[in-house]
Amino acid sequence: MKISHDLLIKLYNLNLEELLKEASNYTNNEVEFCSLISAKTGKCSQDCKYCAQSSHYNTQCPTHTLVSKEKVKKAALHSKENMATRFAIVTSGKTPDESDFNSMIDLIKIINGIDGLKSCASIGILNEQQAKSLKEAGLVRFHHNINTCKSYHNKICTTHSYQDRIDTINLVKKYNIELCCGVIIGMGETIEQRIEMALELAQINPHSIPVNFLTPIKGTPFENYWDKIDEENILRTLAILKIANPSSVIRYAGGRQIRLSKKNMELALKYCVDAILIGNYLTTTGINPGDDILSVKNVGKKISVF
């Protein structure tokens, strides 16, 4: 199927059951689990309007410097116990802190040393030497979201550009590191702009597309954005992302537990979601991994292993 903007609009407006069935043509019977640790939290210089960690807003977000190797290893082993096959270190800030970068490399090597886990990292906008060093350290996958479509980016953030994100994405691909690149929905974008996101991601062609659902954080400009998307439009967006990106894994990420009922979470898991970021997120709590394991069973799928 040749994917175009007009076709995706037409599909988006189908009867929901028909749309989900169309998306199911591109999924399989396995669901991948991954997990993360917020390895450095808060005091970010960027003004992303959704983010609890931005120093531009008074959100009462806890802050801490880079965590210890022992803490990362313990968290990684715990994620493996809960059937995760990928584990990510995530740090706040626009770019990796040079004073921390060598320590981040060590953390990646610790994760790679755990049998059955593959390393991921989400540490901001990279320069070429950093990308090269990550590759040499054996990083398997780098996570860097576009967050929203190009036409809406300046409504979300003004301290870095959409192109800054694309430049890092291109560096990751240049050094043959797997790419995880996704979005946040429910930030006031239109349906047309959700279609733009799907098509822009198709051009990027990441291995994994994590989909976050805005959690309005008190103190941020989006603290009252509870009504910008409903459950049906979340399901429609997930289906369109899968159809537009059939070779990419569509991954549940932050906010799903407050934006979707259990019934609709399992509906999407059955038809168009291929993976789950389990456990807690960066500054918000998630779903007990045992509940996710049960949901996978409920929809007749199995958890993938390496």
Q: What are phi and psi of 17, to 5 degrees?
A: -60, -40
Give the pLDDT score at 129: 96
Q: Which residues pair with 178 in a beta bridge?
A: 141
76-115 residue pLDDT tens: 999 999 999 999 999 999 999 888 999 999 999 999 999 9
Q: Are 186 and 213 in contact (CB under 8 A)?
A: yes
Q: What angle do CA 108, 114, 116 make, to 5 degrees?
A: 115
User: How high is the pLDDT of residue 306?
Assistant: 76
The DSSP annotation for 83-132 comes to T-SEEEEEE-SSS--HHHHHHHHHHHHHHHTSTT-EEEEE--S--HHHHH
CA distances from 78 to 19, 73, 262, 279 (A): 37, 9, 24, 10
Mean pLDDT taken over the chain: 94
User: Given a cut of 90, is residue 61 above it in pLDDT?
Assistant: no
For residues 292 and 77, give the distance between their C-alpha atoms in angstroms, rounded to a whole number: 18
Separation CA 220–CA 205 (nearest Å):
31
**In terms of pTM, does the model score above 0.85?**
yes
CA-CA distance, 158 to 152, in Å (whole number)?
A: 11
Percent helix, percent strand, percent coil in the chain, to nearest 5: 40, 15, 40
Q: What is the pLDDT of residue 42?
A: 85
Note the pLDDT of residue 283. Answer: 58
For residue range 246-290, what is the model confidence (pLDDT) as tens digits? 999 999 999 999 999 999 999 999 999 999 999 865 655 578 899
Q: Does domain 5-303 have CATH number 2.60.34.10?
A: no
Read off the pLDDT of each residue in 23-48 and give the average, rounded to a whole number.
Answer: 94
Tokens of 254: 């932050």
Report the distance separating Cα 192 and Cα 198, nearest Å.
Answer: 10
Torsion of CA 122, 124, 129, 131, to 10 degrees: 30
Quick one: average pLDDT of 224-242? 97
By the 10 Å C-beta count (0-12 exposed, 13-18 middle, 19+ buried), 156 is classed as: buried
**Tens of pLDDT, residues 193-217:** 999 999 999 999 999 999 999 999 9
Q: Please state the rounded mean pLDDT for residues 55-61.
A: 91
| pLDDT tens per residue, range 147-164 | 999 999 999 999 999 999
Q: Is pLDDT at 17 greater than 70 in this prediction?
A: yes
What pLDDT is attached to residue 282? 61
